[in-house]
Chain A
């Protein structure tokens, strides 16, 4: 139990970072109605691009920006495979994900891990977030505002604000219409190929940003760090939806729910680990949890049908 409490700030920080990734997944899965599997690859692409640039002396913010851009390129690849080449969305994502494995290795100079040397305090101080900061703040060696929960929290808030604005614009609305009803969108003059590609780019850019943050947090980029990211993202989206859908109606709050969903996911994982579960079973646990939550709406509809009101024009 003591272990769990000690690990909690770290788990919450990590949950927040994955929450940013989950917000990216939300854009494709909930808004565009596409399960985009490229995120498993683009998460690591963001991390790899950041770490390689940063360790080679590039400014931290520029390195993060570059990470976002390469993530967007990954999204562009998936988008073009889907729209221009007519490959089903899910397969396009798988192809991008597979290809990215090699690309990620290439970015990292054909090594499976590239570390940020945080024994060098000057380097450590430059980082935005680090697991070290969690301990340092607890010991009083760093100011409170350097705590990862605070820093990533600000990132999340800013991201939600920007997305809230964007999806309220004409362009954002056309993207939502594409996901809601592509036939209608085209009939209203929306180029649904363009909006799909745009959504995938936006999503993967955000996922790569999250990867860059996690690479800082763990002070390393690792080739397998994105494996199962889509499942974690879906878990966060679904947990957020199940817990808050009655409470949160507003779009910004829905995104917040996703972020909270990711935190809950990570805290639960920590709790399960603290109870002594073999970490090797984690992925099986994640897959099972997501499978169950995805099944619930289907079972509900099949075995407990809700009467829907139909008929006359006057019926409100």
Chain B
């Protein structure tokens, strides 16, 4: 479903701030794969997701989604294939627009937007049903501005929006990092549910090793712009946090004690 081939990305080339963020990352996801992505700060996790999403184009390598080469497509064109939830709850929704309007915008992802109504009556009814299923108490606040919602509610709404127009690929970029633990757990549970119900191919970046082990069927770890650990299936199921840490220090060298702390 997703094929990343040898992608490279350097930020601020030729300056003192030069940073090789991705150094030849290759990754192939099968239809329905749910891969969790871990790594220390600056390892390239979010960079990899942004490369796929098309925030900028990569310096070298290629990316294809569902057989379509998207390497040179701008972000808004790739959006046709991709559902996204960001780390910052503010980023995923339009705060000055109503809940239904946000949903309606998302349901037209990848389609031509013409002069038909932005939100139809039938849509309203179906969104109300979906929101009731989310069990967030939003079903009676369809016309509330999204800016009035809490961070958790926004992330849940963004998840729903990402799955409305079934994406070929769902990108979750530390989407629970800005939430309190209880809310984060709820949003993660909801993510699992949405991924399962829609059979979505998913990439989830997380700082939490335990979450990375519990969720999904495959786990990769990035270090210094490369994939250094890649486990899946039974092997992943049996993985524990201490094992993962040990694996990590083996591949990264012993000078990474700081990252250990960050990751645990």
Contacts and interface: CB of A to CB of B under 8 A. Distances in A.
Contact of B94 (A168, A176, A310, A312): A176
Contacts of B30: none
Interface in A162-213: 166, 168-174, 176-177, 179-181, 183-192
A183 B150 contact: no
Tell me what chain B mostly uses at the interface: helix, strand, loop, or mixed. loop
B19 to A, nearest CB: 22
Contacts of B80: 189
Interface in B56-94: 74-77, 79-80, 82, 84, 86, 90-94
Interface string B4-41: 00000000000000000000000000000000000000
B186 interface: yes
Interface residues of A, number: 31
A170 B114 contact: yes
Contacts of B96: 176, 179-180
Contacts of B76: 185-186, 189-192
B180 A312 contact: yes
A186 B114 CA distance: 17
Nearest to A174: B113
B47 interface: no
A174 B91 CA distance: 16
Interface residues of B, number: 47
A132 B16 CA distance: 68
Contacts of A315: 150, 153
A311 B97 CA distance: 21
B97 A176 contact: yes
A177 B156 CA distance: 19
A314 interface: yes
A112 B76 CA distance: 45
Contact of A173 (B104, B111, B156, B182): B104
B12 to A, nearest CB: 17
B77 A189 contact: yes
B222 interface: no
Given A174-B113, A177-B97, A190-B76, A316 B141 contact: yes
A313 interface: yes
A315 B180 CA distance: 13
Interface string B186-198: 1100000000000
Contacts of B101: 173, 176
Interface stretch (B115-123, B207-215, B240-248): B115-123
Given A171-B115, A188-B108, A314-B137, 9 more contacts: A170-B114, A176-B94, A176-B97, A177-B94, A177-B97, A179-B96, A189-B77, A192-B76, A311-B151
Interface of A: 166, 168-174, 176-177, 179-181, 183-192, 309-316
B110 A189 contact: yes
Contacts of B114: 169-171
A314 B105 contact: no
Contacts of B119: 168, 173
B93 to A, nearest CB: 6
Interface of B: 53, 74-77, 79-80, 82, 84, 86, 90-97, 101, 104-106, 108-111, 113-119, 136-137, 141, 150-153, 156, 161, 180, 182-183, 186-187
A169 B77 contact: no
B150 A172 contact: no
B113 A190 contact: yes
A313 B91 contact: no
B141 A169 contact: no
A169 B105 contact: no
Contacts of A181: 90-91, 93-95
Given A176-B94, A188-B79, A192-B76, A313 B115 contact: no
A313 B118 contact: no
B152 A313 contact: yes
B79 A189 contact: yes
Nearest to B85: A187
Contacts of B183: 311-313
Contact of A186 (B79, B110, B150, B186): B79
The 3 A-B residue pairs whose C-beta atoms are closest, nearest first, are A189-B79, A173-B118, A180-B94
Contacts of B74: 191
B156 A313 contact: yes
Contacts of B118: 168-170, 172-173
A180 B186 CA distance: 27
B84 A187 contact: yes
A222 to B, nearest CB: 37
Contacts of B113: 170-171, 173-174, 190
Contact of A170 (B110, B115, B150, B156): B115
Given A169-B114, A187-B84, A190-B113, A314 B92 contact: no
A187 B79 contact: yes
Contact of A310 (B75, B106, B151): B151
A139 to B, nearest CB: 46
A173 B111 CA distance: 14
